[in-house]
Amino acid sequence: MTDPLLAVLARAETLVELDLPAWDALLRRARRTNLVARLDALARDAGVFERLPERVRANLVGARVLAADHRRMIRWEMNRIARALAGLDAPVVLLKGAAYVAAGLPFADGRLVSDVDILVPRERIAEAERALRRHGWEHAKLDPYDQRYYRRWMHELPPLRHGERETVVDVHHTILPPTSRLKPDPAALIAASRPAPVAPFRLLAPADMLLHAAAHLFHDGDLAFALRDLVDLDGMMRAFDRDPAFWPGLIARARRLDLGRPLYYALRHARRLLATPVPAAVVAGAEAFAPPPPLGALMDRLIPAALLPESHARETRGRAAARLLLYTRSHWLRMPPGLLAAHLARKAAMRHAARGA
């Protein structure tokens, strides 16, 4: 690996080898992709923080303060959500960032989490929504088009924002939109879930957590923090490696949940970019989910290009194009193509209007 940012993400002890100019370049790139707090956590975990230059440490501490408060905020939100949903006699499964925090996963240290995502059985979603609204959450103001988009085509209610705290909870009943080609069964996810250290929530089983994150990065999502998402995937694989049931069941689980393709991309690009250790048997098993060669070759070029922030100056047209292609692909995978064109045209019009004359 020649990319300096990827190199330090993979081996944090090499941070002590960086001189001030190298740190400068690294800081610019880490800021662009919200990974400064992650570098801080990695440096501390590797036991090298105290050996870094004082001026570098100051910047890492700055990011640490913010990340620590985000963690506190998420924990408080979980407390408040648990209170609101106390009467709901149904499993409530934490997803994404809040789940990583609740599970105390090592890579959650240094991550900025702003919303709480939860998964509930579809037949209880209206009741959950009512309970949250009784406790002060409100639907964000959306125009009728976006309301319809969320409710009908997406996999979640429009986000609920708390009236006073202005924090957001996203209530899901599936992890991918009903309109998507891939159809992971939410009942299977809930059935395999386990109690979280933060009562009364539940967490996805480790394999499911990984598959969900892979689906989020490689199937939906908007790629603004894609490198961070890949760092999460790497973190999960390293953390769950210790669980003896994790790797052996992963391929079968991906097949069961119809998430083989995202798993393939997750394994492939985490290994290539972050040197994530993956057992050979799993790599071999995932080949069954590989894309046809032309698509695979294209993704092999697009994904690293989109994930890696430029070291400085403006984005080259190449990277911008890669990002746009992937964004279009993500939306295509979510919405039938005719609807996609209309949706993208509308979003472009809104961006134009928002920027003003």
Partner 1 sequence: MTEARATVGALSRETLARRLAGDGIAVRTGPFVTRLRLPLDELAASLRLLYADFPVDSSGFADFDVTARRLGRGKIEFLIDGERRFAPVARGIALPMLEWAINWCLYTFSHQYLLIHAAVVERKGRALVMTGRPGAGKSTLCAALVGRGWRLFSDEFAVISPDDGRLWPIARPIALKNDSIERIRRLVAGAVLGPTSDDTHKGRVAHMRAPAASVRRADEPARAGWIVFPNRADDGVAALAPVPGGRAFFRLADNAFNYHFHGAAGFEAVCRMIDACDCLDLGYADLEDAVAALDRLVDGEAR
Partner 2 sequence: MTDRRERDSDGEARRGAPRPGETVWRRPDGVRLSWKVFDDEIVVFNAFSGQTHLLDGFSALVLEEIEHAPASRDALAARLAGRFDLGDAAALAERLDAVLAEFDRQGLADPTVPNPAAP
Q: Which residue, 59 or 174, has its beta carbon nearer to partner 1?
A: 59
Contact 325, 333 (CB under 8 A): no
Q: Provide the minimum distance between the beta carbon of 21 and partner 1 in the complex, in angstroms, as a whole number.
A: 3
Q: In what order do the strands lie in the sheet with 93-95?
A: 137-139, 160-162, 168-172, 115-119, 93-95, 202-203, 194-195
Q: Which residue, 69 or 315, has its beta carbon nearer to partner 2?
A: 69
Paired sense of beta strands 168-172 and 137-139, if any: unpaired
Q: Provide the minimum distance between the beta carbon of 330 and partner 1 in the complex, in angstroms, as a whole number.
A: 22
Q: Is 328 in the site for partner 2 (CB under 8 A)?
A: no
- Beta-carbon contacts of residue 343 (< 8 Å; ≥ 6 apart): 149, 331, 335
Q: Which residue, 58 or 295, has its beta carbon nearer to partner 1?
A: 58
Contact 270, 230 (CB under 8 A): yes
- Beta-carbon contacts of residue 157 (< 8 Å; ≥ 6 apart): 125, 129, 139, 150, 151, 170, 171
Q: Which residue, 37 or 233, has its beta carbon nearer to partner 1?
A: 37
Q: Is 69 in the site for partner 2 (CB under 8 A)?
A: yes
Tell me the one-letter amino acid at 10.
A
Q: Which residue, 53 or 62, has its beta carbon nearer to partner 2?
A: 62
For residues 14 to 53, the per-residue mask of contacts with partner 2, x marking binding by CB under 8 A and - elsewhere, is ----------------------------------------
The residues pairing with 202 across neighbouring beta strands, listed in sequence order, are 93, 195
Q: Provide the minimum distance between the beta carbon of 356 and partner 1 in the complex, in angstroms, as a whole number.
A: 8
The residues pairing with 160 across neighbouring beta strands, listed in sequence order, are 139, 169
What's 243's DSSP letter? S
Q: Is 138 in the site for partner 2 (CB under 8 A)?
A: no
Which range binds partner 1 by CB under 8 A, 18-26, 221-229, 267-275, 335-343? 18-26
Q: Is 352 in the site for partner 1 (CB under 8 A)?
A: no
Which range binds partner 1 by CB under 8 A, 151-159, 238-246, 311-319, 336-344? 311-319
Q: Is 134 in the site for partner 2 (CB under 8 A)?
A: no
- Asked if the bond preceding 294 is cis, omega within 30° of 0, the reply is no
Which entry of partner 1, partner 2, none binds 61, CB below 5 to 8 A by partner kind? Answer: partner 1
Residue 93, SS3 per DSSP: strand
Contact 95, 212 (CB under 8 A): yes
Paired sense of beta strands 93-95 and 115-119, if any: antiparallel
Query: Please, where are the H alpha helices in 18-134?
Result: 20-32, 36-45, 54-84, 96-103, 125-134
Q: Is 66 in the site for partner 1 (CB under 8 A)?
A: yes
Q: Provide the minimum distance between the beta carbon of 283 and partner 1 in the complex, in angstroms, as a whole number.
A: 35
Q: Which residue, 163 or 178, has its beta carbon nearer to partner 2?
A: 163
Query: Please, where are the H alpha helices in 192-242?
Result: 206-218, 226-240
**Residue numbers of the site for partner 1 (CB under 8 A)?**
19-21, 23-24, 27-29, 31-32, 53, 55-56, 58-59, 61-63, 65-66, 68-69, 72, 310-314, 355-356
**Residue numbers of the site for partner 2 (CB under 8 A)?**
69, 72-73, 75-76, 79-80, 83, 136
